[in-house]
Chains A and B, each alone.
Chain A
C-alpha cells in the first residue's frame, strides 16, 4: 500500500512544483476564490515587510495571520513553496492513515454486528466488504492531493493549506485515540481560525466511544472525561495565546485576527455568502445579521452531535462542510478538505438523490467564477450581481451535496435496522419518507 501512496505523493509534488515555476502561479495567487484576506500570501509578505520596517503588522488592516504563522515564515520565507507542498503532503498522509484506521474499526464493528445477527437478512448487500474498502484511504489522499482546488490553493500559497494540515493532524490523532495530541491540534486549529472549535464535539464523542465511556449525562465518568479534555484543550490554547503574546509583545493580534474573522470588515469578494450581503446591508441591521450569520456556523453542532452521536467521523465531515460553507472568508482550500472525505462515504452512493445535478452545478460554477470575475472587474460588461449569483449557486450546490450525503447516511442506518426491502402492511413495496 505504501508504493501507490508514494507514487501519488510524487505526482502531486511534481504538479505543484511545475505550477510554481510557471507564470500561472502569480495569476492564481491573485484569484479571490483561492485566497481570502485572511490567507493571502501577499499579506503574509506584507506583514514580514512591516516587521522589517519596525511597524507592528497588526497596526494596519492588511495582515491578519496569527503571530505563530508570521514567526514560522520569518524563518522559512525562502522555502515557502516547500513548506506549502509539505503541508499538503502532511494533510494527505494524515488523512490516509486516519481513514485506514477508521475503516478497520468500521469493519470490526460490522463483524461484531454480523456475528450478533443484528442486521436484517435482506441487508447483506449493504454490508461492506474488505475488498471495496481496501483502496478508500488511497482514494482519500488522492482526492485531497489531486483536487484542483487543493492544487490552486497550494500554488497560491494560501495559508489555508496550513490550517488544513493542522485539522488533518487533529483528525488523525483523534482517530488514533490520542487524547492529548487531539486536544493540542484542536487548540492549534482553533487558534488559527476560530471555527474548528465546533470539532470538539465529534472529537469528544469519538474518544469516548473508543474508551467505552457511555454518553450519559448522569454518569460521572462522562463528565470526568469532558473535564479532562477541556482542561487539555484550554490549557494548550492558553499556552499558544500567551506564546503569541510574548512573540510580539502585544495583544494587538486578538482584534486583528479574531475580530477580523467575526466582524467581517473586509468585503473583498470571495466564494462565501458574507461579502455581498454585508456590502449591501443597511447599516442599522448590520450587527444583527452579523450575529445571525456567525451563530449559524456554530449552531448546527449540538443537533448534529445528538443525531450522529454514534458516528463521530461522519459528524466531523458534516462539521467541516458546514464551516466551509458558512464561514466568513471561505476559500476553495476549505472545500477541498471536506471533499477529500467523499470516498469514505462511497458506500452511500446508492442512496444519493441528486449527486449528478450537484456535481454538474459545482463544476459549472467553478468554471464560471473566473469568467464572471473577468466580466465584472476587467471587461466592465457585467456587474457585481453576476459574480454574486454564481457564489449563491455554488453555495446552494454545496448545501445540497452535504444534505444529500446526510440523507443517504441516515437512510442507510435506517435500512440496517429495519431491512432494505420494506413492505407495507398489505405486502406491497413500501417507499420511505421523512416524517
Chain B
C-alpha cells in the first residue's frame, strides 16, 4: 500500500466522505447533481472530472468549494470559488473540460461511436488544487456515463441512391416526424446530434454531403439533388411521417438548409433550424460552387495574435445581389436561427440581422425566431459539450490542417449551448409533433 493511501486511511478515522452523482447514467443533455457529504464543516475541497476520449486524450476540469456547516457540498446550489469555473454551475465540471497539460494542441472533443457512452470519473480531493491530480489520492470518486443514444433507439446506415448517412429511429411503432441533420465544412459523418434527437422522438438522418462515398471515389462533390434525395429517402421511410420533416444545419449545413427550404420543389419543410451559418451563397449552385466562392475570397481571411485562422470575413460584406443570398422573404415555414455574437468563423451574426430585415420587408418575419448569444462562438453544440475556442481543422477537400479560431468565452458559450438546445428541441417538438397539418384534407371536402 502506498504511503498516501495509508495516510488517507488514517485520516478516515473520521466519518467517511460520501460522493454521489445522480443520475449516474444519463443522456448527454441531461443534468446531474453532485453531492459531497461528511467532509469537515467549512473545509476546502476540490471537485475534479476526468475523461479519456476515444482518441486516448485525457480531459479534465476542477472546481473549488467550501463545505457548509453540515459538512456538505451540492454543486447545483453551491458556489465554486476557483478552478475551471466560478459561481453556481451544476454542470460546470463537464462543460469546462479541457485537455490535460501536455496534450497535443488544438484538440476538439467529438464522439464518433454513439453506441457507447462517454465515461467521466468525478472525484473529490481535500484542499484546493488546480493540478497534479494524478499524484494524489482523492477522498472519494464516482463514475458517470453520458449517452447519446437512449435504449431502444435504432441506428440504420443509409447507403441507398449513393447517399452516405445514418438514420436514427426512436423506439416505438411510429410514425415519427423526420429531420435531416447537416454539419459543416469539416465533412465526415457525425452522428451524435441525430442520435440525441432520436432519443427525443425525432427520426433523424445525419448526412455526410462533403466526404460521402461517391465523392471519395470520384473526387467530385455532390450537387443539390443529393439533399433532395436524402429528403425523399426520409419521406418514404415507412416509420417516418413524410409531411412532417425538418432540416437542421450548422455552419456550412445552414447554407443548404436555407437553399432547400426556399428553392427546392421537392423539399417541403415543416420547420428549419440554422446554427452559426448564413444565407449568403451562390443561390443556384451546390457544394462545389460554395467552395469556389470561399476560394475566390481567400484574401479576406485574417489571423489572431496566436496565428489562428479567422474566416468570418470570407462572406462579408453582405451582398445586395439577390443571386448571392437566399431570399428568405419567400420562406413559408418557421425558422429558428441560432448565432454566437463572437463567431470568428462565419459572419453568422451579420447574416442573421440581414435575414431578419429581409423577412420584415417581405412580411413573413412572424416565422422567424432569432437566438443571439453574447460571447458565444461558432461551434454551438449540444449542452455540456466542452467548449472549443480554437482547434486544428481540415476543411473537406483541403490538404492541410490549420489552427482555426471558433470564438466564444467558455462560461457564456456553455450557457448558450444549454439554452439553445432546450429551445431547439422545444421548437422542433412544437412544429413537428404539434399544430395542424397545412396539407390536411378536411373531411368536409370529401
Q: Do A and B come from one complex?
A: no
